[in-house]
């Protein structure tokens, strides 16, 4: 079992606008793309305008949300490297309220091209500023490596937590952990239960109550270019991501309420 996918939430400005969540883990095959696509779809279905940003050159999130390969399609590469405006890049999806910034193989070269770029770690942050007021949530699907694309996403958790702390000190002081998510969870196995217990004991409330089970229908859905709620709304995978979306929304509302009360108290 791959026990967790790590979320980092950050604000790209001093005020609360879009809530930005990067789905990140150095290890591949732990369900990052599955989580990014299905969390984004469930948030949109809950009437939360959402943008999914595919930051991985493999473009699995782009395919999983229903887009076939198209060499003529503009992608995140065009925004980061060629400075093209997002209104030429953002695509509407089959889910009402969900739009996507697609990826393609050119992103593999973007990490190299960014090396010599000015303010290279802030390219994505700067590009997304124009979208703050359009969406309630922006979900970033990161590649399974700590390269410049992932670094851009974490600016705009053992090793990843260490990386997060370094980025917080040097690049983005408002970087936070949204939560740690158990994926590919099999409650029938002692190992899965023990890992869940250990994570909750160590990280406490930073671990989401929602868990994503091993689920055949969830594994099938990307091949059909559909989020799980469109592929099989009655599956355990759909239940898991629907619950996760509600938990993320509740956490955001709780933070917003706390902020409002603090501001009121200080008046």
pLDDT of the residue at 13: 42
- Give the integer Cα–Cα distance in Å for 16 and 30: 30
Residues 159-186 have pLDDT tens digits of: 566 777 788 888 888 888 888 888 888 8
Q: Estimate the crossing angle of helix 107-114 against helix 148-155, to 10 degrees.
A: 80
What token pair was written down for 49?
Answer: 């305008």
d(CA 232, CA 41): 13
3-class DSSP state for residue 239? helix
Q: What is the CATH number of the domain that holds 103?
A: 3.40.50.300
Q: Looking at residue 113, what is its pLDDT?
A: 73
Per-residue pLDDT, averaged over 24-52, amounts to 88
| pLDDT tier for residue 34 given thresholds of 50, 70 and 90 | very high
Highest mean pLDDT: which of 2-11, 26-35, 75-84, 228-237?
Answer: 228-237
**pLDDT the model gives residue 11:** 42
Question: End-to-end distance of the chain based on CA atoms, in angstroms?
Answer: 50
Residue 185 has φ and ψ, to the nearest 5°, of -85, 130
pLDDT digits (tens, 9 = 90+) for 176-225: 888 888 888 888 888 778 878 877 887 888 889 999 999 999 999 999 99
pLDDT of residue 7: 46
Contacts of 38 by beta carbon, 8 Å cutoff, 6+ apart = 218, 227, 228, 229, 237, 238, 241
Q: How many domains, in total, are found in the chain? A: 1
Q: Specify the pTM.
A: 0.73
Domain span including residue 20: 5-265
């Amino acid at each position: 079992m791959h026990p967790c996918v790590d979320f980092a939430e950050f604000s790209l400005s001093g005020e609360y606008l879009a809530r930005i969540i990067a789905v990140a883990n150095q290890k591949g095959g732990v369900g990052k793309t599955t989580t990014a696509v299905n969390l984004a779809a469930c948030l949109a279905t809950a009437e939360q305008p959402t943008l999914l940003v595919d930051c991985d050159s493999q473009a699995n999130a782009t395919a999983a949300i229903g887009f076939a390969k198209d060499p003529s399609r503009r992608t995140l590469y065009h925004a980061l490297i060629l400075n093209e405006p997002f209104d030429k890049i953002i695509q509407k999806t089959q889910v009402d309220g969900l739009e996507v910034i697609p990826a393609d193989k050119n992103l593999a070269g973007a990490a190299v091209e960014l090396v010599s770029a000015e303010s290279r770690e802030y390219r994505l942050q700067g590009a997304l500023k124009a979208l703050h007021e359009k969406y309630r949530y922006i979900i970033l699907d990161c590649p399974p490596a700590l390269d410049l694309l992932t670094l851009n996403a974490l600016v705009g958790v053992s090793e990843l937590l260490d990386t997060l702390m370094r980025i917080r000190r040097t690049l983005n002081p408002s970087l936070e952990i949204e939560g740690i998510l158990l994926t590919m969870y099999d409650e029938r196995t002692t190992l899965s239960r023990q890992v869940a217990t250990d994570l909750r004991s160590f990280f406490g409330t930073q671990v989401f109550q929602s868990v994503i089970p091993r689920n055949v229908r969830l594994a099938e859905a990307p091949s059909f270019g559909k989020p799980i709620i469109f592929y099989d709304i009655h599956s355990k995978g759909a239940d898991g991501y629907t619950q996760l979306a509600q938990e993320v929304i509740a956490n955001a509302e709780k933070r917003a309420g706390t902020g409002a009360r603090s501001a009121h108290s200080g008046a």
